[in-house]
Amino acid sequence: MTRTFRTAAVIGAGTIGLSWTALFAAHGLTVRVSDPRPDLAEAVDEALARSAPHLAARGLDVTDLAGRVHIAAGVTDAVRDADVVQENGPERIEFKQDLFATLAREAPGHALLLSSSSAIPSTEFTKELADDAAARVLIGHPFNPPHLVPLVEVVPGERTGEEAVKAAVDFYTSVGRTPVVERKEIPGFVGNRLQNALSREAVYLVEQGVVTPEELDTVMTNSLGLRWATVGPFLGSHLGGGPGGYRHMAEHIGASMKRMWADLGTPSQNDEQQERLIAAVEQAYGSATYPELTETRDRRQLAVLSALDSTDKEEN
């Protein structure tokens, strides 16, 4: 039986937590937010105002976002009647161990306990929990900003129950996300490992003086980023093989690909090199403010999502 989700608790109101808050509220959930930051109410108001136009552009009702969001007195208050809890705390095992012990104790027994952890598998921070508590804990890792980027990596722990996995998929689907269940735990999960692999080579190329940070971004947004946003790496390679598909690609350029893999660089990233890289990125993008850059990013992401929506409708 599909669960009904009416109330969500958001624990941790940094960039990710605030984005989740706006998304959940836009989908009609009552949202209770907890964070020790002294400016929590102001941060929530600003995030809702900033996110509302983007959510409206995705066809969501944003007329009363603030009316659906409540500032909780603390974690216990936030989770007291939650159907789902989305944790967004620091990437520290000890912190998450303590927090999830509290969540398991204070949240209703039916509540799904989800973590936005970007690197730590839930098995690592649920070792001290009883089996029935660990059974409803799993990773729901988004990409920034989660109110716009659809992917959520759903990663069960060793003791996560199958019913909780299904419920997590149902929940994220109900708020317009695209959940992908990963079959085994691995540090960093899938998305961040791919991102880190690409980032390592990007840093190496800049460090070697092949391109500047801005030129590398231009290469990506005008080639692989464009291609992968529509078909992904494997389908892209399959199509790159022509009528013979991925088999033709592997048989004809597989050897050169392996040589290139062996030649991929490892940046030194000593203090001097890291400072040069930071200075180069700041030179490329430092003239614009953070809000200006994020607004440009989000507007472009909306355009990509809208284009993908349109083509999907045409194909169906």
Catalytically annotated residues: 153
- Give backbone dihedrals phi and psi of 258, rounded to 5 degrees, phi first: -65, -40
Is residue 62 a contact partner of residue 89, using CB atoms and an 8 Å limit?
no
Query: Which stretches of the chain are DSSP H helices?
Result: 15-26, 40-57, 65-68, 75-79, 93-106, 122-125, 131-134, 162-174, 191-207, 213-221, 224-230, 232-240, 245-263, 271-285, 290-315
d(CA 192, CA 195): 5
d(CA 311, CA 298): 20
DSSP readout, 211-246?
A: S-HHHHHHHHHTTHHHHHHHTHHHHHHHHHTGGGHH
Other CB atoms within 10 A of residue 196 CB: 11
d(CA 116, CA 15): 12
In single-letter form, the type of residue at position 92 comes to: R
- Give backbone dihedrals phi and psi of 156, rounded to 5 degrees, phi first: -70, 150
